[in-house]
A and B are shown apart, each in its own frame.
Chain A
Amino acid sequence: DQQVKQNSPSLSVQEGRISILNCDYTNSMFDYFLWYKKYPAEGPTFLISISSIKDKNEDGRFTVFLNKSAKHLSLHIVPSQPGDSAVYFCAADWAGNNRKLIWGLGTSLAVNP
């Protein structure tokens, strides 16, 4: 049973527009959420995170929103650039889990020029 779900396997966006990647979770014990970006033939790269005590965290073009009541988080990329084309993974953690992240299956983002 997947505790972290990324229901959209792929997303296509025009350059300059907003990309919104979504992630749902089922475990209410999760208190730390992360987004990773992965290019082919490379390891995942940490992008941005958010603690459950916050509802928004921003880093440049990337913003993560957390809605605890809906058990939903989203990653906004504004403006989208062709170099953002990658697979994006959502992951979650909670205190006492020995720092083992629970991963979604990823969403492949294509940003078209």
Chain B
Amino acid sequence: DAGITQSPRHKVTETGTPVTLRCHQTENHRYMYWYRQDPGHGLRLIHYSYGVKDTDKGEVSDGYSVSRSKTEDFLLTLESATSSQTSVYFCAISADSGNQPQHFGDGTRLSIL
């Protein structure tokens, strides 16, 4: 299995509080992604990174920011959490050579009350 660790695995917090989710990889892969999964919507890309300090928006980036200061870590921040951001969040990584699949972490279940 690809070495991807997401933390925390579960979090409950209140509306308006800041939340940071961490994705850590041991594969030295260039690409990292943050997705959310919600019923009826499949997997939706929030932000992705194509290198250290190189990030870009996905299809549902409003209300989220990311940072990647090291190859191995990709942080997702909800500056002021809202109930609509209650979801399961997945991190994924992929290598840089040719056609490569993305490999996923086990997810973070985030509940915002």
Q: Which residues of A pack against B, CB within 8 Å?
A: 31-32, 34, 41-46, 49, 51, 89, 93, 98-101, 103-106
Residue in A32, A42, A99, A101 with the greatest tally of chain B CB atoms within 10 Å: A99
**A46 touching B103, Cβ below 8 Å:** yes
**B42 touching A99, Cβ below 8 Å:** no
**B107 touching A41, Cβ below 8 Å:** yes
Query: Which stretch from B11-19, B60-68, B74-82, B93-101 is at the chain A interface?
Result: B93-101
A101 to B45, CA, bound (A): 9
The DSSP consensus for interface residues of chain A is loop
Interface residues of B, count at CB 8 A: 25
**B42 touching A101, Cβ below 8 Å:** no
Partner of A51, one of B31, B94, B99, B104: B99
**A44 touching B90, Cβ below 8 Å:** yes
Known: A89-B43, A93-B99, A106-B42. A99 touches B104 (CB 8 A): no
A46 to B106, CA, bound (A): 13
A101 to B92, CA, bound (A): 11
- On chain B, the residues within 8 Å of A89 by CB distance are 42-43
- On chain A, the residues within 8 Å of B103 by CB distance are 46
**A98 touching B99, Cβ below 8 Å:** no
**A100 touching B107, Cβ below 8 Å:** no
- On chain B, the residues within 8 Å of A45 by CB distance are 104
Taking the closest CB of chain B, its distance from the CB of A4, in whole angstroms, is 9
A42 to B101, CA, bound (A): 17
- On chain A, the residues within 8 Å of B58 by CB distance are 100
Task: State the 9 A-B residue pairs at the shortest beta-carbon distance, nearest first.
Answer: A43-B104, A105-B42, A46-B101, A32-B99, A103-B43, A44-B104, A43-B106, A99-B31, A103-B42
**B56 touching A104, Cβ below 8 Å:** no
**B107 touching A43, Cβ below 8 Å:** yes
Can you report 12 A-B residue pairs in the complex whose CB atoms are below 8 A from each other?
A34-B101, A42-B107, A44-B43, A46-B101, A46-B103, A89-B42, A98-B31, A100-B45, A103-B43, A105-B40, A105-B41, A105-B42
